[in-house]
Structure 1
Amino acid sequence: MDDYIQQQLNEIDKKIADTSRLLSDPTLADLARLEIEELEKQKQELGQSAATPMSSADEEPDEYEDEVNPNVAILEIRSAAGGDEAGLFGNDLLRMYTRFAQNQGFKIEELDRSEGKIGQIKELVLKITGKGAYSCLKYESGVHRVQRVPKTESGGRIHTSTATIAVLPEVNASEVFINPADIEFEAYRSGGAGGQNVNKVNTAVRIKHIPTGLVVTAQTERSQLQNRENAMALLRAKLWEMQERERLSSITEQRKLSVGMGDRSEKIRTYNFPQNRITDHRIGKSWYNLEGILEGNLEPIIKALHEADQK
């Protein structure tokens, strides 16, 4: 067995032993049991990976079936340039994706939310579950731009604002190993809605991955254990995304996705209200049904993107 893997296994064993001492504390027993279960799972997966021979470095993975769950999409909305108007546009995108998911019969869970003073979205994370959910939504990652006259604009001038969308899959635990020693865990009181328990107890969770500096939060569940599980799933997805970006950047130009690489910094779409137009810049196609699309009728756009990527 590789010396590094053996070292990781030894560290996990030590962590299990340390955590087991907390089982006698009634206030920490549930959290300790969850932690031990996660550590045991990581130990098993690490042992399995050590026993599996590595494939040739020249071989490129064809699909992601063994890596991710195609039926779960983790969708992030972040307001970007444009101040309050960008946050209000984030609300529009939330409604669009929520209505689309409902029309498809998908299940929607809110994992995290941060709002501005007037209720506009600063950052929001959804978990969308249903047959082919990730396959449907994976091309939505990128910068979405809106052009319209804000309600607060007395001079009738058109403003441009942006929001960033990231669509991540639910990643199988065996694909991304997270060393417990590499994370910092913090529990705190949620600032959002959710009942007395949410606001009086440290149910919200913040996890930092020290090697990469990634920070994830989850606070919408009433249980700290559930929020921790959601945060770990989000962290795993973000780490997988980083690895996937590196892999795609090393592939020759001909092999890159026809509709882009799914980079959240890529400018992909414009929503022009004065012209009742939505344009997807990756395929150079426009639709003149802005209101209908914002009400969740995304099927024509998704179909066009899938067809373009198959060419």
Structure 2
Amino acid sequence: MVSGAQGGRLEELAAEFSHIERAMGDPAVLANPAEYTRLTRRHRELTPVVALHRERAEVVGALAQARELLADPELRELAAGEVESLSARLTELDAELEVLLLPTDPDDARDVILELRAGAGGAEAGLFAVDLLRMYTRYAEGAGLKLNVLEASESDLGGASRVVAEVTGEFAFRALKWERGVHRVQRVPATESQGRIHTSTVTVAVLPQVEASEVHLDLSEVRIDVFRSQGAGGQGVNTTDSAVRAVYRAGTPDEIMVVCQDGRSQIKNREKALQVLAARLAERERAAREAEERQTRAAQVGTGERSEKIRTYNYPQNRVTDHRLEGEVKNFALDSVVAGGLAPVVAALARQERERQLLDLAEAPDGAA
């Protein structure tokens, strides 16, 4: 049952939704791309909540009418059936709304900068990085997202020591945020003559893209270099003279280097490099603010040591194990996952997080939530 506080919150969200719909038709808003983008993003976030809220109101009204008919001897049996089905639907709606009203990640709707770095394991780690990139590309396609490689540093045997990609589309961060951390692979490398299983790692960072106004980036502290691209570890980046390297506070402890060699346009590459740089600066600021909660970027991606992992890809056993889950629910078919079938893994992790939030809410003192 939706509580009084939750009911009040639903009314507030419904009012905000109506206000946004009116604002989106305002010529002044239409002339402001940044504001229009913000409003459309919020509109998408609120749509499922408001739709359920409106359906709930209709069900509550229909249920009240059905209960009144219980007093009519001729309609009592029919009304009893209506009361039962409407009550069941009301229970379902309350459960769905309870989940939707849980705290959400404010970055869920943002586009993403995805970084993969080969860790322990030498050439095999570089090959695994390319395998993960292929997995994410297929997953993105299935989720209606677009993945575009911005930078890839070639390593031995067609692998990549580092890959930076941009993922765009509705709720890209929500689709990929669970991938942050160390991914471990156990398999027999193609170069292994004695059939021994090797263990290698790749660290994955998922950075929400930020608007220029959300982070202070002093261009006087950024050095821009233009050079000829060196290829992309088999990922097909064009070889041109327009690759761009952006270095923030070069030679200082704060230095951040970004390379973009995606297209033939130097202007576009410069723009993308600055976007990635802004995302990294925002992540650095976020890490500093949340250090006490161990949500720094270092904690996000780990060191790349074999003992640190969020997920293991075991090829001999055709099994992927996500170590953040418990019981049999943590195991998935490897061939499906590496082919881009990450949705069941993401769903299990999101479900676990919702259950944790509901438990915290139930255990919190009255009014603390």
- TM-score clears 0.5: yes
Contact 1:277–1:287 under 8 Å retained in 2: yes
Q: Could you tell me how far 1:261 is from its partner in structure 2?
A: 9.3
**1:296 aligned onto 2:340:** yes
Q: CA deviation at 1:273?
A: 1.3
**Counterpart position of 2:91:** none
Structure 1 pair 261–181 and aligned structure 2 pair: CA distance change class (3 A)? closer
Question: Does the aligned pair in 2 maintain the 1:176–1:236 contact within 8 Å?
Answer: yes
TM-superposed deviation, 1:183: 1.3
* Correspondence for 1:165: 204
Residue 69 of structure 1 contacts residue 171 of structure 1 at CA under 8 Å; is this kept in 2? no
Does the 8 Å CA contact 2:180/2:300 hold for their aligned counterparts?
A: yes
Residue in 1 aligned with 2:351? 307
Classify the secondary structure of the residue corresponding to 1:267. Answer: coil
Q: Deviations over 1:50-103 (max 9, x none)?
A: xxxxxxxxxxxx7664xx572411111111111111111111101111111111
1:69–1:172 contact (8 Å) kept in structure 2: no
> Any conservation in 1 of the 2:118–2:201 contact (CA below 8 Å)?
yes
Q: Which residue of 1 aligns with 2:325?
A: 283
Q: Is 1:140 aligned with 2:179?
A: yes
| Residue in structure 1 matched with residue 311 of structure 2 by the alignment | 269
State whether residues 69 and 170 of structure 1, in contact with CA within 8 Å, keep that contact through their aligned partners in structure 2: no
Give, in whole Å, the separation in 2 of the partners of 1:170 and 1:291: 31
1:178, 1:283 → 2: CA distance? Answer: 39
Q: Secondary structure at the match of 2:109?
A: strand
Check 1:154–1:146 CA distance in 2 against 1; reply closer, same or farther (3 A cut): same
Which residue pairs with 1:89 in the alignment?
Answer: 128
Letter in 1 for 2:300: D
Return the offset for 1:146.
Answer: 0.4
Q: How many residues align?
A: 240
- Point out which structure has higher relative CO (alpha carbons under 8 A, 6+ apart): 1
Letter matched to residue 149 of structure 2: E
Q: Please state whether the residue corresponding to 1:168 is helix, strand or coil.
A: strand
Whose radius of gyration is greater, 1 or 2? 2
Q: Does 1:222 align with 2:257?
A: no
**What is residue 54 of structure 1 aligned with on the other side?**
none
Identity %: 43
Q: Secondary structure at the match of 2:310?
A: strand
CA deviation vs aligned residue, 1:26-52 (integer Å, no higher than 9, x gap): xxxxxxxxxxxxxxx9xxxxxxxxxxx
Q: As a proportion of its length, which structure holds more helix?
A: 2
**Residue 154 of structure 1: aligned partner:** 193
SS in 2 for 1:123: strand
Residue 186 (structure 1) aligns with: 225
Which of 141, 155, 161 matches 1:122? 161
CA distance in 2, matches of 1:194, 1:214: 22
CA distance in 2, matches of 1:147, 1:109: 28
Would the aligned equivalents of 1:204 and 1:217 in 2 still touch at CA under 8 Å? yes
Extract unaligned runs of 5+ from structure 2.
1-33, 35-102, 303-307, 357-369
Q: 1:64 to 1:262 in 2, by over 3 A?
A: farther
Which sections of structure 1, spanning at least 5 residues, go unmatched? 1-40, 42-61
Contact 2:114 2:206 in 1 (8 A): yes
1:36 matched to which residue of 2?
A: none
Q: Is the 1:277–1:286 contact (alpha carbons within 8 Å) kept by the matching residues of 2?
A: no
Shift of 1:309: 2.0
1:19 matched residue in structure 2: none
Give the strand-richer structure, 1 or 2.
1
CA-based RMSD of the aligned residues comes to 2.4
Hey, what does 2:77 align to over in structure 1? none
8 A contact 1:77–1:90 mirrored in 2: yes
